[in-house]
Structure 1
Amino acid sequence: MHISPSRTGLSAAPVRRRSTGPGSTGPSPAGRAGAAGRGGGLEEAAVDRVVHIQELFAAGLHSRTVHKVLPCMRDSDGGPNEIATPKLVEELTSERDRIDRMITDLLRSREVLDEVIVAAAGKPEAT
């Protein structure tokens, strides 16, 4: 399966590993990509999958959680498929709550930083 480094934001080496990993058609004995490497739906699905994985990691999910989530995601839109379980929903809700707390903390930190910037610049604070 050929995964485009430019489309996924990954460097060539990780893309090569993903392209020849389990479930891929990998390179042929002649060194060319198999049927999936010819482009089309399979490549697009692989790119979608990589993007969804990147989004999950960017959200701060641990690799164990990502591993549990992937089989439950549709490649096309990242939505849940029919094998999503109530336990997974519970875990993901907990992850979402953790992310919400992180966002609140980051917003508070930004407000403090804004106050310091205003004070350091000697300008009155904007309201």
Structure 2
Amino acid sequence: MRIGELSARTGTPRRLLRYYEEQGLLVAERCANGYRAYDEACVDRVLQIRGLLDAGLPTRIIKQVLPCLDKPRAIHFPDATPQMLATLQRERDRMTERIETLVRNRDAIGEYLEVVRGTAGARPGGAAPQEEAA
């Protein structure tokens, strides 16, 4: 498939797909006309890359992890080195800290909304109830 189809199937902009290729995360064959050609497995590979990026892993770590992916969306480390395990441990701990911060921020925003809506009479748009003229 060409880059446009891969982009449409994965929801990933073409520019990012070219970046993934530059970073060695994705491999494309080149047609005689110079166009990139991707095989079907690239759909899952792009989704894996996006998932790892969304989890907070930098591309340098993803590049190390990708060769260990033996099937779509599954990670297997038959030859994990102590350095790789330590790196992944640090990244996991960093993600946990980010999650805890996000949860605290979400809860604080929720509490703020409850207070604001409570004092505003819980009207749509936060408008206070109008008093009727006697």
TM-score (norm 1): 0.71
Question: Which of 28, 31, 38 matches 2:32?
Answer: 28
1:113 aligns with 2:109: yes
Whole-Å separation in 2 of the counterparts to 1:53 and 1:90: 20
Alignment root-mean-square deviation, CA:
3.0
> 5+ unaligned residues in a row in structure 1: which ranges?
38-42
Whole-Å separation in 1 of the counterparts to 2:94 and 2:21: 33
Cα deviation code 1:77-107 (max 9, x no counterpart): 3312434323212211221111111111111
Determine which structure has greater relative contact order: mean sequence separation of CA pairs < 8 Å that are 6+ residues apart, divided by chain length: 1
> 5+ unaligned residues in a row in structure 2: which ranges?
120-134
Structure of larger gyration radius? 2
- Give aligned pairs, total: 116
Identity %: 33
TM-score (norm 2): 0.68
Whole-Å separation in 1 of the counterparts to 2:53 and 2:93: 16
Cα 1:95–1:13 shift into 2, 3 Å: closer
